[in-house]
Amino acid sequence: MKSRIYLDHAATTPVSDAARAAVVEALALIGNPSSVHGGGRAANALLEGARDTVARFAGVAAENIVFTSGGTEAIALAANGARMAGPVRPRLLVGATEHSAMLQARDDAQVLPVDGDGLINLAALAAALAEDPALVAVQAANNETGVIQPLEKVAALVREAGGLLLVDAVQAAGKMALPDADFVALSAHKLGGPPGIGALIVRDPESLIAIQRGGGQERGHRGGTPNLPGIAGFAAAVAESHDWAAVAARRIALETRLKAGGALIHGEAAPRLPTISSIGLGGVAASTQVMMLDLDGFMVSAGAACSSGKVKSSHVLAAMGLGPAAGEAIRVSLSPATTDAEIDAFAAAWLAMAARLGRKGAA
């Protein structure tokens, strides 16, 4: 049976042993964290201990952590629950290469352009903020290209205008320092934790109102019984450390080999995460590349994972001005567990595929 090599860690990465053990241990508890009896107190102690761990990871106080069902809910909570002055939610400005979770969080968002490397146009941001203060949503690092946004410059513009900054750090968390922002979204399953759990870091809890109301959990910011096993696994995952420099070296080595065979690396002129490569093969549809590599035993994607399970042309690459090439790129994403042997095997398979499909594309 053909071996399978997983190179889609930006979609989800395997649950670590420590996180799995923490989930199993939490499942053995019988109390609801909101109950006042002994079982409830034990569950609440685990909940708040996990909150402390995630807060230390984020460099904030425990009261700044709001647990959610994942990054999508964290983004939606901030996008719809953020308030500046008064009860009216602020205007929303979003970068054109944001994750669909952000682009679809509200239907009234103003989309800001990016340059050819996917970096947000700061002049356009400044002009939009000059109209009146707004909530500005910018990823720390893009989920398809790994491009890291100039968040210090973005934050300075937002602060000067009296606005609020929401950062989607789902891909970046654990791989680079978290930004100084009003809201930061995290997701456990990108970090070696279980799926279905995430958090929103809230600088000022008074600037956020609940969207999901109910029993008053999460200090009134998010109703619903906490996912205690997920939260425990999340905390265990963020407590682990990794050698991202070694991952970056493997990514660079891979890109060097593929470029020699005709690959285009999208966003390569900008700072990028150590884990993600957006690799273009001119004239060959991304869906064809993904399927052929899958048949060869390599699991990659054509961009963000979506519920349809279909390969679509990348809105990220389209916003970067790539035209038809936006539908001709795959995403390869690594983890600290990715080996040199796996990189070598993938490079050989991609080069062989490019030799075959490239000729067809040029015919």
Residue 61: φ, ψ to 5°: -80, 155
Give the pairing of strands 276-280 and 329-333. antiparallel
Q: What single DSSP character describes residue 5?
A: E
Strands (E), the chain: 5-6, 65-68, 91-95, 110-112, 134-139, 164-168, 183-187, 198-202, 264-265, 276-280, 298-299, 329-333
Between CA 345 and CA 13 the distance in angstroms is 20
Distance (Å) of CA 357 to CA 229, 281, 329? 46, 9, 13
Between CA 163 and CA 84 the distance in angstroms is 8
The neighbour count for residue 49, using CB atoms within 10 Å, is 13
DSSP string for residues in 109-149: PEEEPB-TTS-B-HHHHHHHHHHS-EEEEEESB-TTT-BBP
Between CA 230 and CA 192 the distance in angstroms is 11
User: What is the chain's percent helix, strand, coil content, to nearest 5?
Assistant: 40, 15, 40
In 3-state terms, what secondary structure has residue 78? helix
Strands (E), 154-271: 164-168, 183-187, 198-202, 264-265
Q: Establish whether 306 is a catalytic residue.
A: yes
Between CA 204 and CA 187 the distance in angstroms is 20
Q: Which residue out of 45, 177, 306, 352 is catalytically annotated?
A: 306
Q: Which residues are the active-site residues?
A: 306
